[in-house]
Homo-oligomer: A and B are copies of this chain.
Amino acid sequence: MTFVKPDDIIQLIQERGYRLTTARKKVIGILANHSEFLGAYDIHHLLEQENTRIGVASIYRVLDLLKSLGLLKSEEFGVGGEKYRLDNEHSHHHHSHQLICSQCGHTEELLGECPISHIADKLERDSGYQIEEHWLRFFGVCPLCREQ
């Protein structure tokens, strides 16, 4: 179970002017009841088990919509394509990513999307720790120091 309530998502969808359709409700329902990552076809199969037939194309469309609303986390595991999960409040933790020159000490903050969050998620599941923060620090020789 995630901490995102289906009703909140449905409300957001309507607020944004999107229609509230069966496909959207069903796919969101499945995602809300599964804390693990699911592939598009996993969702398709789970819906079939509830005797609900939603076209694969529509499942991808709902996933795209949720992604565009920032409500979805996705991961590429080794095989089997992209997997999706509702983005819940616990999936974020503080981090610090730095690139440090081991010769002159110059430090750069690395911005952009966190490449570690999915590792932290997995680690949280595997270790039982509740991860709050991580540091990622790269040490190397900066271009200026390399010239000398």
Q: Could you name 18 residue pairs across A and B whose Cβ atoms are closer than 8 Å?
A: A76-B76, A76-B78, A102-B132, A108-B127, A110-B123, A115-B119, A116-B136, A127-B142, A127-B143, A129-B140, A129-B142, A130-B141, A131-B138, A132-B140, A132-B141, A133-B138, A134-B137, A135-B139
Given contacts A76-B78, A123-B99, contact A140 B130 (CB under 8 A): yes
Contact among B116, B134, B138, B142 with A128 in the assembled complex (CB-CB below 8 Å): B142
Q: Which residue of B lies closest to A146 (CB)?
A: B130
Given contacts A76-B78, A129-B99, A129-B101, contact A123 B146 (CB under 8 A): no
Instruction: Please give, as numbers and ranges, the residues of chain B lying within 8 Å of A143 by CB-CB distance.
Output: 127-129
Instruction: Please give, as numbers and ranges, the residues of chain B lying within 8 Å of A124 by CB-CB distance.
Output: 140
**In whole angstroms, what is the CA distance A102 to B135 when docked?**
13
Binary CB contact string for chain A from 66 to 110 against chain B (1 if under 8 A, 0 otherwise): 000000000010100000000000000100000101100000101
